[in-house]
Structure formats: structure tokens, C-alpha cells
Chain A
């Protein structure tokens, strides 16, 4: 039996890219950091706040997200939304994910 640390590390490795994919798809509808965190959690994407917030900025720097400060409400919030480049990447990632799923299914079928 592998230890917990190893197992956690492998699970994290496997999920790392899915957070980016989820952000790009979810943010077709603009949202701010904390609300996005909640939505991702509800959708079943486990991600920590301290991973997500810097990630959003990184994706913005890469031109995959765009942001606007919304100061209409009492608490000013930074809203992110997927850019056209981000949209294109999301499509690519989703297609790749489906291909992977197909491969894993095949792997499973072959093993039996």
C-alpha cells in the first residue's frame, strides 16, 4: 500500500490541469475569485483558494482571461472572464480531455 503522501501527490498531479480547464469554461460567465471558488467546489473541482487566486492572475497575464474591477457594490471585486484566446484553449483542452477519457476507457476494456 502506498503512503498517503504519495497518493495525494499523484492525485494532485492528475487534477492540476483540470482546474485551468474548468476556470476557462466556467468564466465564460464573468465572476470574481471567491464566488468562482464556491462554484468550482459545487461542480466537484477541488481547488484551494491559495492555488486559485494566483492561477487567475497567471491566466490573465497569459491573455487567456480578461478582468474588470466592479465597484458598483459596497465591496469592489475583480471580475474575470474568458478571452477569445482562452475560449480557443478551452475547446482544445476539452477535446483533449475527451480523447483521454476514451483512451482510459479502452485501457479499462483491454484490461478485462
Chain B
């Protein structure tokens, strides 16, 4: 059986680089022997002296860490906050995005509902695991690479964050979604004109909307959309107020009132398009549907504006 000293020195050097091992082991053995000798001179038995000398040196793994002079952790304080920040950022939207994409793909492939839900969950989980693993690996390598010693980004005062304004993050999401829907609306109106789902005998597209609307109402709608864009940006920069809530209502009304009137006069949907779909009782369904849509969106949006203005005035008070 090996002596305690043999086992101890092996426990220390096993995790050290090959090149350093022999030298450290030799020195450590000499040091332990010196200590044992001194303790025996003090009256201890050899066994007791060896035991006490090793106890004085402590946990061999800790000693090995001191000898190795390299981090005994995966990610140290230098990169820890960068690591956490990046991981939070990635996890905040990529798993949801990937899960949604997988669900959509399965939905398009007309899979059963159970399979769609399962694909969303498994994809999101898999992406979470991958993000966690690869991000950690990159930082672990960074921690140990020779380029280490400097932080990733040299800090300077211009990097200081703005103190959070209450509801600011919500406001940004609001702005982005408003702009997205406004742009999507314009794209949809243009698209239905130049490339509808149906073509006539000559191969030209049959627009969904009444082509006469282009003479005045559609350009007017585009002008109002532009006004909505300006409004969304102003609202984002200033926050909600009573004045902006009123302006919001006026804008909504300017879009909704002509929309409702045109719908009631049956002037919105292209009759040729309805005919092509072969939908017989389209008028009885379509007209109320469009009226409710225009009116509903406008009323809902106006009320929301006033609710937010009231909340903002309370916060300010």
C-alpha cells in the first residue's frame, strides 16, 4: 500500500500540466518530509507526524488549484456579466421564435394539433439547451484564451444606460407593432391590386378592392397611414397625454367613418372578385363584417388611447 504522502502528492499533481508535475511532486515530497521530521523531533510518532503534516497542507485539490495558477471556475467575474446579459438576450426571443417557426411549418404541413404543439415545445426546449451550451462554451474558451485580461468591451461613460422611464419598454413594443401593422396594411393594399389570388381571362389579377377606390380613397388612406406613422413616433417620444389621445381618436375616426360609409354603400369590395370566388351571399356577410371591423378597431384604439393617457397623467401626478 502507498504511503499517505504518495497518495497526497499524486492527488495534487494529477490535475497539473504534465511538464510541471515531476518538479512540483519532488519539491512537495521534500517539504512534507521536512515537516514530518520536525514534528517527529517534537515527539510525535512517524504515523501521527505524517498525518498532521498533510492536514496542515489541507485539501490537495485546493493546493493543486494554487499551483496551477489558472481559474478553477468556468466563467469568472471578468466575463460573468457579459455572459449573463448575452444569455438573457438570446433566451428572451430565440426559443419563442424557433418554436413558432416549427409550429407554423407543421401547421402548413397540416399536421394534427397534438403534433404541432409537441413540435413547438420540443423545438423551444432544444433551442434553449443549445443556446445555453454554446454560449457557455464560447465564454469558457474566452476565459482561458490568451486574449484574456481585457474586458470584451472597454467601458466608457457614453455606454451608461438611461435610467428606465416607467413603461418605456412597453412603449417601444407598442411603437414597433404600430409601425409593423401600418406598413403591412399598405403592402397588403398594393399587393391585392398588382398580384391578387385570382386572375381574369387575360391573366390580369382581379383585385380584392374596388379599383375605383384608387382615384381618391386609397391615396387618402395612404396619407392617413403616413399621419399614423408620424403620430406613433411622436407618441413614442412624448408618451401618452390627453391631447395625443384626442388626436388619436380624430385619426381613427378619419379612417373609420369613410370606411364604414363606403362599406354601407357596397363600394369597397370588387364585385368581380366576389363573383370569381363563387360566394353567393357575400354581401350579407361582407358588409356587416367590414363595418364592424372599421368601427371596432377605431373605437377600441380610441378608448385605449384615453386609458393610457389617464395612466400617464396619474404617474406624472
Q: Identify the A interface with B (CB < 8 A).
A: 32-35, 38, 48-51, 53-55, 57-58, 61, 69, 75-78
Partner of B66, one of A32, A51, A69, A78: A51
Partner of B30, one of A32, A51, A61: A32
Main secondary structure of the interface of A (DSSP, over half): helix
A3 to B35, CA, bound (A): 33
Interface bits B14-52 vs A (CB < 8 Å: 1, else 0)? 000000000110111011011100100000000000000
Does the CB pair B63–A54 fall under 8 Å?
yes
- Once A34-B34, A61-B69, A75-B33 are accepted as A-B contacts, the answer to whether A50 and B26 lie under 8 Å apart by CB is no
Q: How far is the CA of A112 from the CA of B58 in the complex (A)?
A: 44
Contacts of B58 in A (CB 8 A): 48, 50
Instruction: Tell yes or no: B62 within 8 A of A by CB.
Output: yes
Of B31, B62, B67, which one neighbours A49 at CB under 8 angstroms? B31
A57: chain B residues within 8 A (beta carbon):
24, 67, 69
Write the chain B residue with the least CB distance to A32: B30
Check A49–B56 contact: CB distance below 8 A.
yes
Interface contact A35-B66, CB-CB below 8 Å: no
What would 22 A/B residue contacts be, using CB atoms closer than 8 Å? Answer: A32-B30, A32-B31, A33-B34, A34-B34, A34-B35, A38-B38, A48-B56, A49-B31, A50-B57, A50-B63, A50-B66, A51-B66, A53-B28, A53-B63, A54-B63, A54-B66, A57-B24, A57-B67, A75-B30, A75-B34, A76-B30, A78-B27
Q: State whether A53 touches B62 (Cβ < 8 A).
A: no
Report the contact-size class of chain B (Cβ under 8 Å from the partner). 10 to 19
Known: A50-B62, A77-B27. 19 other contacts (CB 8 A): A32-B30, A32-B34, A33-B31, A34-B30, A34-B34, A34-B35, A34-B38, A38-B38, A49-B31, A49-B35, A49-B56, A51-B66, A53-B63, A54-B63, A58-B69, A69-B26, A75-B30, A78-B23, A78-B27
- Give chain B nearest CB distance to A70 CB in angstroms: 10
What residue in chain A is nearest B62 (Cβ atoms)?
A: A50
Q: What is the 8 Å Cβ interface bit string for chain B, positions 166-209, against chain A (1 contact, 0 not)?
A: 00000000000000000000000000000000000000000000
Q: With A50-B57, A50-B62, A75-B33 in contact, is A33–B27 under 8 Å at CB?
A: yes
Cβ–Cβ < 8 Å partners of B66 in chain A: 50-51, 53-55
Whose C-beta in chain B lies nearest to the C-beta of A78?
A: B27
Question: How distant is the Cα of A75 from the Cα of B183 in the complex, in angstroms?
Answer: 85
Closest A residue to B24 by CB, please name it.
A57
Q: With a CB–CB cut-off of 8 A, which chain A residues contact B62?
A: 50
- Chain B residue with minimal CB distance to A38? B38
Looking across the interface, which residue of chain B has its beta carbon closest to that of A34? B34
Please give, as numbers and ranges, the residues of chain B lying within 8 Å of A32 by CB-CB distance.
30-31, 34
Closest Cβ of chain B to A54, distance in Å, is: 4
- B27 neighbours in A (Cβ, 8 Å): 33, 53, 77-78
Decide: B31 and A53 in contact? CB cutoff 8 A. yes
- Chain B residues near A61 (CB, 8 Å)? 69
The 4 A-B pairs with the shortest beta carbon distances in the complex, nearest first, are A34-B34, A54-B66, A33-B31, A78-B27
Q: How far in angstroms is the closest Cβ of chain A from B234?
A: 55
Contacts of A58 in B (CB 8 A): 69
A76: chain B residues within 8 A (beta carbon): 26, 30
Give the complex CA separation of A55 and B67 in angstroms: 8
Nearest to B35 among chain A residues (CB) is: A34
